C-alpha cells in the first residue's frame, strides 16, 4: 500500500472497548484513571521492532513535555493505561488485535507491546490511545516464512548536532521489509550552545556529557523529536543493537574509556551506574523486546531473527562482552603482540559460541551478521613498511577475528555477509582466512555503511580513505566513500546486493539522495562484485 507521510501521520479516531489488561510489572505509582495531558503525549511518535512471523513489538513513550529537565517528559508519578490496536488497513476498519499496556514512571512511561497472533509476511497498521489522545499511525510488517526476496536498509551513527537526519526521510520512502540500526543511536557528548548545526538553544544540562539516567533520557528525547527519524520509525519495523556512544566513546565491557574527560568512570561502581542508566534509557526509547530489557548494568542484546529459509539475521553486541582495548586504544603501529594475544575476545566466549553454533546450524541461504565495527583488516598507513591498526576495531582483536572467520569456514556456513557501522565511511571488503595472503580463500563479504550524520558533510574520499585505498596495502578493500547516508540490501536465493545511498549535505536540511555504488554477492560464491 502506498503510504505517504501525510497519510502516515493522519489519524481517524475510533473508540476501543472490551480490551484485556496486560500488566507491565510492578510499579510504585498509582493508577491515573482519566489522564489529561498538557501537551501531545505522543511527541516521540511510534515505532515497531524485531519482527517475527506471528508478531512484532510496538513502542511509544508518553511525554507531553518531552524535554522536561527532570527526565519525566512532563508525566506524573502515576501509572497510565495505554491502549493499542493493530489492523490490516490504515483506517482501522479491519482490526485484528488490540490490548492495553501499563506505562509506568519507572520506565519513563514507555510502552513495549509484544503483539502475537498475526499472519507472516503481512503489512499492518497500529496506533495507541492514552486518555483522549490518539497517536500517529505506524506501519509495520511481520517476518515472512517463505520469502522470494527480502529488502532492508541498515544505518548507524546519527549525531544529532552534527547533521540533519535527511537520510531518514528518504529512507522512509523506500520499499523495505525492515530497518537495521547498527549503533550510535545517540552521542553522549554535550550538544553545544546552539545544538551544533541545528541552531537551537537548549538548557545547560544538554551542554555536558551524559552521566545520569535523567541525562540519557533527555538526550534520547532530543534525538527522538526529529521528524525525519520518526518518519522512518513509523514506516518500518526496526532491529537495533548498540555500539559505544549510547554509553560512552569506546567503552569495552567492564572498562570505561581510558580518557575519562574528568568523569569518575574509572571507579567500577560509578562506571556500572553509568552503564545501567544508559542501558535503561536505551530500552525506554526503542522498540525492544523483554529479553533485551537490561538488569542494571547487564543486558543481552545479541539475538537471532529468521526470515524463512532465505536469511538468518545474527544481531551482535561487540561492546558489552569485549576485552579492554590494548596499547591505550587509538591507531598504533607498535601493538602487534598485544592486539594478537590468543585469549582476547570482542564477543565474549558465550556470544562467540552462540554465533558460530547458530550459524553452523542455519538452513538459510544467507547468514547476515549485524556487527558494530569493521571486521576487515585495515592497514591505516599507506607506507608498505609500516602497519598501523585501529585498536577499537576487530583489528585490535585479531585472534577473535581469526576464530570467527575460521569458524565460519570450518562449519561451511552458507553465504556469510557482515553489515557494519561505526566508522563513518562506507567500505566493501572481502573477508579472507589470511589477509596477508592475496590468494587466501574468501570466507565472507563485509558491507560497512557510513554515518547518517556523524562527521558532518562527507565527500567521496578523504585523507583516511586515501590512506586505506592507495599503495596496495589493503587489496581486499573493494570500494570506499566518506559520504553520508544508508545502505539498502536486497536478498534473493540467487544473490544479495548492497546499494549505497548518500545525501551529499547534512549540515543543512533538504539534501537529495543518490545511489553512488552497488555491489553484489552471488550465492555460493563469496566475494563482492561491482554492479
Counting residues of the chain whose pLDDT is more than 70, the rounded percentage is 94
Band the pLDDT of 472: cuts 50, 70, 90.
confident
When the pLDDT of each residue in the chain is averaged and rounded to a whole number, the result is 93
Question: Is residue 107 located within the same domain as residue 154?
Answer: no
**DSSP state letters, 500-529:** EEEES--SSS----EEEEEEEEETTEEEEE
List pLDDT tens digits, range 313-360: 999 999 999 999 999 999 999 999 999 999 999 999 999 999 999 999
Question: Is residue 54 located within the same domain as residue 151?
Answer: no
Question: Is residue 208 located within the same domain as residue 70?
Answer: no
Instruction: Tell me if residue 429 falls in helix, strand or coil.
Output: strand
Residues 6+ apart with CB under 8 A from 73: 61, 62, 63, 64, 65, 66, 108, 109, 217, 221
Residue 266: its pLDDT value, please? 66
The model carries a pTM of 0.94
Name the H helices within 113-252.
166-172, 213-224, 227-235
Q: Which residues pair with 499 in a beta bridge?
A: 488, 518
Question: Is residue 458 located within the same domain as residue 390?
Answer: yes
Instruction: Determine which of 19-28, 92-101, 261-270 has the lowest per-residue pLDDT on average.
Output: 19-28
| Range of the structural domain that residue 45 is part of | 1-142
Question: Is residue 440 located within the same domain as residue 489?
Answer: yes
Q: How many domains does the chain have?
A: 2
Residue 184: its pLDDT value, please? 98
**What would the grid cell of residue 434 be?**
589470511
Rounded to the nearest 10 degrees, the angle between the axes of helix 213-224 and helix 268-284 is 30
Question: Is residue 202 located within the same domain as residue 92?
Answer: no
Question: Is residue 90 located within the same domain as residue 187?
Answer: no
Q: In angstroms, rounded to a whole number, what is the distance separating the alpha carbons of residues 239 and 523?
A: 24
Among 80, 107, 142, the domain boundary falls at 142
Q: Provide the strand spans (E) within 323-380.
A: 331-332, 366-371
Question: Is residue 82 located within the same domain as residue 151?
Answer: no
Among 81, 110, 142, the domain boundary falls at 142
Among 91, 118, 142, the domain boundary falls at 142
Question: Is residue 158 located within the same domain as residue 295?
Answer: yes
Contact 61, 111 (CB under 8 A): yes
Contact 525, 496 (CB under 8 A): no
Question: Is residue 370 located within the same domain as residue 451?
Answer: yes
CATH number at residue 514: 3.60.21.70
Question: Is residue 285 located within the same domain as residue 383?
Answer: yes
List pLDDT tens digits, range 164-204: 999 999 999 999 999 999 999 999 999 999 999 999 999 99
List pLDDT tens digits, range 255-275: 998 655 555 556 888 899 999
Question: Is residue 391 located within the same domain as residue 484?
Answer: yes
CATH number at residue 108: 2.60.40.380
Average pLDDT (290-304) is 97
Amino acid at each position: 500500500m502506498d503510504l505517504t507521510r501525510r497519510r502516515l501521520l493522519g489519524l481517524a479516531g475510533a473508540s476501543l472497548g472490551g480490551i484485556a489488561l496486560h500488566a507491565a510489572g510492578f510499579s510504585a505509582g498509582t493508577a491515573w484513571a482519566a489522564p489529561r495531558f498538557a501537551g501531545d503525549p505522543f511527541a516521540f511518535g511510534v515505532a515497531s521492532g524485531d519482527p517475527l512471523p506471528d508478531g512484532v513489538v510496538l513502542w511509544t513513550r508518553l511525554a507531553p513535555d518531552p524535554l522536561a529537565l527532570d527526565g519525566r517528559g512532563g508525566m506524573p508519578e502515576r501509572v497510565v493505561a495505554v491502549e493499542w490496536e493493530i489492523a490490516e488497513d490504515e483506517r482501522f476498519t479491519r482490526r485484528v488485535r488490540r490490548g492495553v499496556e501499563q506505562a509506568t514512571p519507572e520506565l519513563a512511561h514507555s510502552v513495549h507491546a509484544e503483539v502475537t497472533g498475526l499472519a507472516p509476511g503481512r503489512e499492518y497498521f497500529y496506533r495507541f490511545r492514552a486518555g483522549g489522545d490518539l497517536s500517529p499511525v505506524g506501519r509495520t510488517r511481520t517476518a515472512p516464512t517463505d520469502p522470494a526476496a527480502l529488502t532492508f536498509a541498515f544505518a548507524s551513527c546519527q549525531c544529532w548536532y552534527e547533521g540533519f537526519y535527511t537520510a531518514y526521510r528518504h529512507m522512509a520512502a523506500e520499499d523495505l521489509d525492515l530497518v537495521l540500526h547498527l549503533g550510535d543511536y545517540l552521542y553522549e557528548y554535550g550538544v553545544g550552545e546552539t545544538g551544533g548545526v541545528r541552531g537551537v538553544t537548549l538548557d545547560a544540562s544538554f551542554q555536558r556529557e551524559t552521566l545520569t539516567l535523567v541525562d540519557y533520557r533527555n538526550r534520547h528525547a532530543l534525538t527522538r523529536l526529529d521528524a525525519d527519524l520518526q518518519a522512518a520509525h513509523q514506516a518500518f519495523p526496526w532491529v537495533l543493537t548498540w555500539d559505544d556512544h549510547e554509553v560512552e566513546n569506546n567503552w569495552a565491557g567492564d572498562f570505561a574509556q581510558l580518557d575519562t574527560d574528568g568523569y569518575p568512570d574509572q571507579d567500577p561502581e560509578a562506571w556500572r551506574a553509568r552503564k545501567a542508566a544508559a542501558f535503561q534509557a536505551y530500552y525506554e526509547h526503542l522498540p525492544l523486546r523483554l529479553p533485551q530489557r537490561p538488569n542494571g548494568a547487564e543486558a543481552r542484546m545479541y539475538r537471532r531473527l529468521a526470515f524463512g529459509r532465505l536469511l538468518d539475521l545474527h544481531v551482535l553486541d561487540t561492546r558489552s562482552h569485549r576485552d579492554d582495548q590494548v596499547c591505550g586504544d587509538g591507531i598504533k603501529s607498535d601493538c602487534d603482540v598485544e592486539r594478537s594475544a590468543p585469549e582476547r575476545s570482542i564477543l565474549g566466549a558465550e556470544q562467540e559460541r552462540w554465533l558460530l553454533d547458530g550459524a553452523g546450524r542455519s538452513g538459510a541461504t544467507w547468514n547476515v551478521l549485524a556487527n558494530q565495527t569493521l571486521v576487515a583488516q585495515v592497514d591505516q598507513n599507506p607506507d608498505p613498511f609500516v602497519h598501523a591498526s585501529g585498536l577499537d576495531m576487530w583489528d585490535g582483536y585479531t585472534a577473535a577475528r581469526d576464530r570467527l572467520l575460521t569458524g565460519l569456514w570450518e562449519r561451511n556456513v552458507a553465504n556469510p555477509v557482515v553489515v557494519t557501522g561505526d566508522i563513518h565511511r562506507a567500505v566493501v571488503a572481502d573477508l579472507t582466512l589470511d589477509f596477508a595472503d592475496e590468494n587466501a580463500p574468501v570466507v565472507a563479504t563485509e558491507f560497512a555503511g557510513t554515518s547518517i550524520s556523524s562527521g558532518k558533510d562527507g565527500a567521496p574520499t578523504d585523507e583516511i580513505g586515501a590512506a586505506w585505498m592507495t599503495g596496495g596495502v589493503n587489496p581486499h578493500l573493494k570500494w570506499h566513500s566518506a559520504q553520508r547516508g544508508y545502505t539498502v540490501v536486497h536478498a534473493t536465493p540467487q544473490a544479495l546486493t548492497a546499494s549505497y545511498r548518500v545525501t551529499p549535505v547534512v549540515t543543512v536540511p533538504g539534501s537529495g539522495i543518490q545511489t553512488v555504488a552497488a555491489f553484489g554477492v552471488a550465492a555460493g560464491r563469496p566475494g563482492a562484485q561491482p554492479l
